[in-house]
Structure 1
Amino acid sequence: MLQVLRKRGVRITLGATAAVVVSALGFFAWQGFYPVQATTGWQVSVLHTSVAKAASLLPQADGSLLVSRELDDGRGSILKITAQGDRVVVVDGLSKPDGMVAVEGGWVFSQEGGKAPVSLQRDGKITPLFEGESVQGLWNDGDYLYAIEDRRDNGRLMRYDWHSGQLDVLRSGLTETEGLTRCHDGRLLYTQKGEGKVRALSDDGNDPVVVQGLRNPTFLMCDQRGLWISEDSTHRARLLLIDAQGQRQTMLSFLKAPQAIVADGKGGYLLAEGGRNRVLHLMPPAEQKVAKVSPKQLTDD
C-alpha cells in the first residue's frame, strides 16, 4: 500500500511539474507572438519584414531606407531598401552595426561589436573617422559628431570636430549608455539602459536626470511631439512619448527589442523592431495637430 501511495505521489508531482512547464512555455510564446498594440487613434503596420536584427534607420531623399542589421562577428551589414522594395547591401562585414546618422553628402555608422572605427560613407567610399569600442548612439549637428559607447563602467561620450578632426572625451566611466539625441532647446540627451534613466549633458558635468523609471531605454528621438524613447526589452517592450506637458504616453506596446525610431517625412514614424526582424510604420490620427515642445518642459516621473 505504501509503495502504491509513493508511486501515486510521484505521478502527481511529475504532472504538476509538467503543467508548470507547459504554462511557462505558453506564457513566453504568448509574449513573443502577441500583436503590437498602438495607442488610441494611432495606426501601426509592418513596412518591411525579414530584416535581421534591424537596428538603425536612415530614410534617404530618393525614398529608399537604410537599415543596419545588428549581427555580430563580421556578419552585420547595412541594407538599402529602395522605394520599389528592392534590397541591396551597401556595407557588409560589420560587427553589430548600430548607430547611423546623416551628414552632408553621406552618412556615418558605428559598430557595437567591440573595437571598431566610427566611419563615414560618402560617394561610395568608406572613411574611418576615429576609433571606439562598442559605439552605439550617434548625433551630428554639422560642426560636431557625437558618439556614445555601450560598455560597463568604462563607456565614453565623445565629440568629433568635423573641421579639425580632433576627438574629445566629454564623459568617461559610463555604463550601458546607448541612445543619443539633441532636442529643440539644444540639450544633448543620452540613455542609461540599466538604470532606466535619460540624462542631459551639462556644462558642470552633473548631467541631471530628465526621465527615470524606464525599462531598458535605448534609442531616443526629439521632435515637435516631444521625446520618443524605445525600450530594448525582449518581451512586452514599449515605445514611449513624453509630450509638451511632461506626460508619459505608451505609443506602442508588446514590442520585442525595438530599436531606432525616425520620422518618415510624411507625418508618421518608422521603428526598427530588432526582436522580430522588421520595420514598423506608425501613423497618427489624420486630424491630430502637432504642438511645439521644448525639452525644458520634460519632467521626472
Structure 2
Amino acid sequence: MSILHWRSTRIVLIVTAGLLCATLGFFAWQSFYPVQAADGWNVSVLHRDVAKAASLLPQADGSLLVSRELDDGKGSILKITANGQRQVLIDSLSKPDGMTAALGGWVFSQEGGSAPVSLSRNGTVTDLFHGESVQGLWNDGDHLYAIEDRKGNGRLMRYDWASGEVEVLRSGLTETEGLARCDGGRLLYTEKGTGVVRALSEDGNDPVVVGGLSHPTFLMCDQRGLWISEDNTHRARLLRVDPDGTQHTVLTFLKAPQSIVADGHGGYLLAEGGRDRVLQLTPPDQPIDAQR
C-alpha cells in the first residue's frame, strides 16, 4: 500500500469515526438531556421504574393507578399507594393504554390488537365490548367513548351504559389516540400522524381545532385550557392551549410522554413512558411544598 493511499484511508477512517461519535453523542444528548419547564413551572420525578407508563388515574385514597403499556400479555395496571407501596391489580394485558373512572370503578382499554374494553370494580373485571387497538377513553356518565389507533380503519365508538349497545360514530380513522371533552361540550380527539386535534361535529365534518403538532396523543381539559402531550421519542413537548388558541410550551425534552391528569392538589401528573416514570408538575401559582 502506498503512503498516499494509506493516508487517504486513515483520513476516511478518522472522519467516519468522528461522524459516528457525533451521531451517537447527539442521540445520547437527546435521550438524557433533562426535561425543561417553562418559566415559573416546576417539574420533578414522583415515581421511577414504572415500565412504559401510559395512563394515570388518581384515587380518592391518595393512591395512583398506572397502566404499563407492555405488549404480548406483559402489560398490567399498577397501583402505587400514597406511601409508595406498589401492587399489580390486573396483569397479562397487551398494551393497556386508556383509563377512565366509571361506576365507582374504572375502565381500561388495550391497544395490543383485538381486545375488550373492560370495567374493573370491587375487584371484578367485566368486559363491556370489543375493539381493535383501542387507546383513548372518555366517560360522561351516560356514555363511554372509545377510539381506536389504527391505520385507515379506526373507529370512534360510543357505549351506552344503560342499554349496553355500541354505536360507531366515526370510521375510517387513522392514528386517532386521545379523547377529551372540553368547555362547551366539544369532544376532541387527536390524529397523531397528521398532527392535529379535531372536534366531533354533528355534521360529520370534524374541524381541526389545533394544528401544527408533532404526534399528539393524550388530551386533557381544565380551567387552564387544553393540554396536549406529544408522543415523540426525542424532544417531545407538553403543550397548553388557551381558549383563544394561543399555544404555550410547558415542558420540553420529554421522551414519549403520555397521559396528563390533575393531581388533586392544584398541580399535574404526567406519565413519561419513554423514561419509565411519572412526573409531577407544579404551576407558577402553586407552592411546591403544598403538594407534598
**TM-score normalised by the shorter chain: which range applies?**
over 0.9
* CA deviation string 1:150-196 (max 9, x = no partner): 00000000000000000000000000000000001100000000000
Structure 1 residue 286 displacement after superposition: 2.7
Q: How does 1:247-262 map to 2 (within 5 A)?
A: 247-262=246-261
Structure 2 residue identity aligned to 1:193: K
2:191 counterpart letter in structure 1? Q
Counterpart code for 1:185: G
Distance, in Å, in 1 between the alignment partners of 2:123 and 2:183 is 32
* Structure 1 outlier segments of 4+, above 6 Å: none
User: In 2, distance between residues paired with 1:243 and 1:203?
Assistant: 24
Partner SS state of residue 128, structure 2: strand
Deviations 1:247-285 (A, max 9, x none): 101000000000000000111000000000000000011
Query: In structure 2, what is the equivalent of residue 198 of structure 1?
Result: 197
- Counterpart-to-counterpart distance in 2, 1:45 and 1:104: 32
Q: CA deviation at 1:70?
A: 0.2
Partner of 1:265: 264
C-alpha RMSD of the superposition = 1.0
| Inter-partner Cα distance in structure 2 for 1:243 and 1:91 | 37
TM-score normalized with structure 2 length: 0.97
Establish whether residue 48 from structure 1 lines up as the match of residue 51 from structure 2: no
Residue in 2 that maps onto 1:10: 9
Cross-structure match for 1:159: 158
Partners of 1:218 and 1:245 in 2: how far apart? 21
Q: What secondary structure, in the 3-state scheme, does the structure 2 residue paired with 1:20 have?
A: helix
1:66 maps to 65
Contact kept in structure 1, 2:239 and 2:247, CA below 8 Å: yes
Consecutive unaligned residues in structure 2, runs of 5 or more: 288-292
Q: Name the residue aligned to 1:77.
A: 76
1:49 CA displacement: 0.2
How far apart are 1:4 and its partner, in Å?
1.2
Question: How far off is 1:6 after superposition?
Answer: 1.0
Counterpart in 2 of 1:87? 86
1:98-142 CA distances to partner (integer Å, 9 max, x unpaired)?
Answer: 000001210000000000000000110000000000000000000
Cα shift at 1:244: 3.0
> What 5-or-longer segments of structure 1 have no aligned partner?
289-301
Give the counterpart letter for 1:147 in structure 2.
A
5 Å-filtered alignment, 1:97-136, equals: 97-136=96-135
Measure, in 2, the Cα distance between the counterparts of 1:254 and 1:9. Answer: 40
> Aligned partner of 2:155: which letter?
R
How far apart are 1:34 and its partner, in Å? 0.3
Residue pair 2:72, 2:112 contacting (<8 A) in 1 also: yes
Distance 1:286 1:100 in 2: 29
- Kindly provide the CA deviation profile for residues 219-247 of structure 1, in whole angstroms up to 9, marking residues without a partner as x: 00000000000000000000000013321
User: 1:173 maps to what in 2?
Assistant: 172
* Number of equivalenced pairs: 287
AA at the equivalent of 2:208: V
2:2 alignment partner, SS class: helix
Question: Offset of 1:7 from its aligned partner?
Answer: 1.2
* Cα distance in 2 for residues equivalent to 1:104 and 1:249: 35
The Cα of 1:287 is off from its aligned counterpart by: 6.3
Give 2:290's aligned residue.
none
Quote the Cα distance in structure 2 between the aligned partners of 1:286 and 1:134. 39
Q: Using structure 1 for the length normalisation, give the TM-score.
A: 0.94
1:185-224 alignment to 2 at 5 Å? 185-224=184-223
| SS of alignment partner, residue 61 of structure 2 | coil
The letter for the 2-side match of 1:23 is A
CA distance in 2: counterparts of 1:158 and 1:239, whole angstroms: 27
Structure 2 contact 69–75 (Cα < 8 Å) conserved: yes
Distance, in Å, in 2 between the alignment partners of 1:208 and 1:154 is 19
